[in-house]
């Protein structure tokens, strides 16, 4: 019997339209497309590799979020750093395309873990008054990385050399094993009081602060809970098990999708690749810093509403700009980038303050996971420009506006203590909502 090979499979290895082609190496001397001949029938594989990478971050957010809630923040963070370093360097030596994709997937998996776990760990260690500053300072290295990437790429035009240059610095992060402590808040939440006391005492001594009140403060915090027993460890179902938590989770999803979707759309706009990336990075840096003032002045809720609205309206307006008005499009896109750069650190901080300790990593990880779907779908939405030029900006402009409207359902978290249990998370914001309802009914 003869085995018939499907036509679409045979075309992956042979396409008459691509015989005798030559790659343009004026911008990059070697890319994955030129390395593995990803053109014609295999042209979509380059985009697929990026989708696989975003899928890795998506899964890494949830995987390491769950591990961090079960086993602590520090251990999963260090493991993620090691995986990121090893697979990042190994990717530069991948001899086959699908091995390249697999290694990139593992790198992304670890990157998703480092991003999420490190933020939650730091937020649980610092005091309430430093949260706004933390959420912005945490984003600045991302902005700087975004800004330096086109500089590296401009001088390093071979993808393998660029991959090495971007991966090797991760070796410095191994120092986390010795420098980063476990989260005392997580230790207390799961009943490991002695370990939490030891870490807090060491921190107080390093900062030359009194230590005699640490035990008393921990006891007071434990007594304020509804149950003196160690808190049960949450799971992903708890994010949607109760009505209030469902609303919070939905809003985090929509706001996250808006951010990554708009970021991908702006990144696909025409122009010089080095200039476009550099300009977008230069815009996000002041926008991120501006977020500090906005969160202090307006709180998390209204900062997120305003920034999402600014982003959405700006991108949506691009759909109504006549062809040939490139300057207007750039101004609107820049305005959208500013709104987006304010929105991202705000929604990250907001999510960390809304979700209780026992599911904080899972909550933020799952929200980030769903948000990454926006970045995975973005290239296909951008491709819809072949159907109608107005379609991509309408889609990417509408989502942030929906996120802004849904944020009205959330409570303000500025200056509030972090919720610890699922019950805390469910009740968080209910009193203020009830009070507001009563005020309306009483005509206040």
Same domain, 299 and 425: yes
Residue 9 lies in a domain: yes
Size of the chain, expressed as the number of residues it contains: 444
Residue 434 lies in a domain: no
Same domain, 208 and 281: no
Residue 96 lies in a domain: yes
Tell me the residue range of the domain where 61 lies: 1-180
Same domain, 219 and 147: no
- b vs e for 248-279, b when ≥16 Cβ sit within 10 Å of the residue's Cβ? bbbbbbbbbbbbbbbbbbbeeeeeeeeebbbb
Residue 435 lies in a domain: no
CA distances from 379 to 132, 280, 293, 376, 387 (A): 33, 18, 33, 7, 14
Residue 439 lies in a domain: no
pLDDT tens by residue, the chain, 444 residues: 445 544 444 444 444 556 667 777 878 899 888 889 887 777 678 778 888 888 898 888 878 888 988 898 999 999 999 999 999 999 999 999 999 999 999 999 999 899 888 888 888 888 777 877 777 788 788 888 888 998 999 999 999 999 999 999 999 999 999 998 998 888 888 888 888 888 888 888 888 888 777 777 777 767 665 444 445 555 667 666 766 667 766 776 776 667 766 766 766 666 677 877 787 778 888 888 888 889 888 998 999 999 999 999 999 998 898 887 777 887 888 888 889 888 878 887 787 787 777 777 677 766 666 667 766 776 667 667 667 878 888 988 998 898 889 889 888 888 777 777 767 766 766 654 433 333 433 444
Distance CA 233, CA 37 (A): 49
- Given a contact cutoff of 8 angstroms between Cβ atoms, the answer to whether 62 and 113 are in contact is no
Distance CA 93, CA 71 (A): 33
Q: What are phi and psi of 260, to 5 degrees?
A: -70, -35
For residue 444, give the DSSP letter.
Answer: -
pLDDT value at position 383?
A: 66
Quote the number of domains for the chain.
3
What spatial distance separates the first Cα and last Cα of the chain, rounded to whole Å?
84
Contacts (Cβ under 8 Å, ≥6 apart) of 403: 251, 254, 255, 257, 258, 304, 308, 312
Distance CA 211, CA 214 (A): 6
CA distances from 32 to 25, 134, 178 (A): 12, 37, 37
Closest CA to 257 of 43, 58, 31: 58
Q: Is the dihedral of CA 240, 245, 247, 248 positive or negative?
A: negative
- Given a contact cutoff of 8 angstroms between Cβ atoms, the answer to whether 116 and 61 are in contact is yes
- Given a contact cutoff of 8 angstroms between Cβ atoms, the answer to whether 79 and 174 are in contact is no
Distance CA 436, CA 442 (A): 10
Distance CA 428, CA 260 (A): 28
Same domain, 281 and 424: yes
- Domain end, chosen from 227, 254, 284, is at 227
- Residue in this structure with the two tokens 């179902």, named with its chain if needed: 237
Same domain, 122 and 149: yes
Model confidence, pTM: 0.71
Contacts (Cβ under 8 Å, ≥6 apart) of 281: 143, 146, 147, 149, 150
């Amino acid at each position: 019997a003869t085995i018939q090979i499907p036509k679409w499979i045979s075309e992956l290895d042979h396409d008459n339209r691509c015989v005798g082609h030559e790659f343009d190496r004026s911008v990059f001397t070697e890319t994955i497309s030129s390395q593995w001949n990803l053109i014609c029938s295999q042209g979509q594989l380059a985009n697929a590799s990026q989708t696989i990478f975003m899928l890795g971050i998506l899964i890494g957010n949830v995987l390491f979020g769950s591990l961090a809630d079960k086993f602590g923040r520090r251990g999963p963070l260090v493991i993620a750093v090691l995986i990121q370093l090893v697979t990042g360097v190994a990717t530069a030596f991948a001899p086959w395309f699908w091995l390249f994709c697999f290694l990139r997937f593992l790198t992304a998996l670890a990157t998703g873990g480092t991003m999420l776990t490190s933020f939650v760990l730091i937020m649980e260690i610092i005091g309430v008054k430093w949260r706004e500053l933390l959420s912005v300072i945490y984003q600045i290295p991302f902005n700087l990385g975004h800004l330096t990437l086109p500089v590296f790429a401009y001088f390093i035009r071979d993808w393998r050399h660029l991959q090495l240059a971007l991966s090797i610095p991760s070796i410095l992060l191994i120092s986390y094993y010795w420098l980063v402590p476990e989260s005392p808040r997580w230790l207390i939440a799961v009943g490991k009081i002695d370990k939490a006391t030891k870490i807090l005492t060491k921190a107080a001594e390093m900062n030359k602060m009194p230590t005699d009140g640490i035990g008393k403060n921990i006891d007071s915090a434990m007594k304020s809970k509804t149950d003196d027993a160690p808190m049960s460890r949450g799971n992903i179902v708890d994010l949607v098990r109760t009505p209030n938590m469902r609303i919070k989770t939905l809003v985090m999803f929509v706001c996250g999708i808006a951010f990554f979707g708009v970021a991908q759309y702006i990144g696909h706009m025409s122009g010089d690749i080095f200039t476009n990336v550099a300009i977008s990075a230069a815009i996000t840096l002041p926008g991120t810093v501006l977020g500090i003032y906005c969160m202090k002045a307006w709180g998390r809720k209204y900062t997120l509403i305003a920034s999402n609205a600014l982003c959405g309206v700006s991108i949506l307006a691009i759909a109504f700009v006549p062809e040939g008005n490139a300057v207007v499009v750039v101004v609107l896109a820049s305005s959208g980038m500013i709104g987006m750069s304010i929105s991202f650190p705000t929604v990250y901080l907001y999510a960390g303050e809304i979700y209780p300790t026992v599911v904080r990593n899972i909550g933020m990880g799952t929200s980030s996971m769903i948000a990454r779907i926006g970045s995975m779908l973005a290239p296909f939405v951008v491709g819809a420009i072949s159907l109608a030029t107005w379609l991509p900006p309408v889609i990417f402009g509408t989502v942030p506006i929906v996120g802004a409207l849904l944020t009205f359902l959330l409570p303000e978290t500025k200056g509030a203590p972090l919720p610890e249990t699922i019950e805390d998370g469910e009740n968080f914001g209910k009193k203020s909502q009830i009070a507001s309802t009563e005020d309306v009914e009483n005509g206040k």
